[in-house]
Amino acid sequence: MHALVEATKRALRLRDDYITDPKCLEHPPDRYLDDGYLGAQAAQIDRRRAASWHAPGDGGDTVWMGAADAKGLVVSYIQSLYGNMFGRGCCRALAC
């Protein structure tokens, strides 16, 4: 159970730091699924001690948009980055 939790923490940190528009990635996406890369990540897990967990400190954001036409067709859209900031790697690469 400990290894599963620690592997999940590492995966979420990597997700937060690197997931972004593929055009903005620093490395090809396959790198993060490479056996060698995953093995190196697994080797960094301390089997006797839990790594600290810290949520990103830059907060989240939510955007809502709505529109209606003359015939009554209504569309509502919400994009939320509230919690773990999925995909915030794009924030680092705005100039890509």
- Give 64-90 pLDDT, tens digit per residue: 899 999 999 999 998 776 555 555 555
Token pair for residue 4? 């599963």
- Give 15-64 pLDDT, tens digit per residue: 877 777 777 788 888 888 899 999 999 999 999 999 988 665 556 677 88
Token pair for residue 72? 């009554």
- Domain boundaries of the chain, sorted by first residue: 2-92
In this predicted structure, what is the pLDDT of residue 93?
46
Which are the catalytic amino acids?
62
Structural element, H or E, at residue 42 = helix 35-43
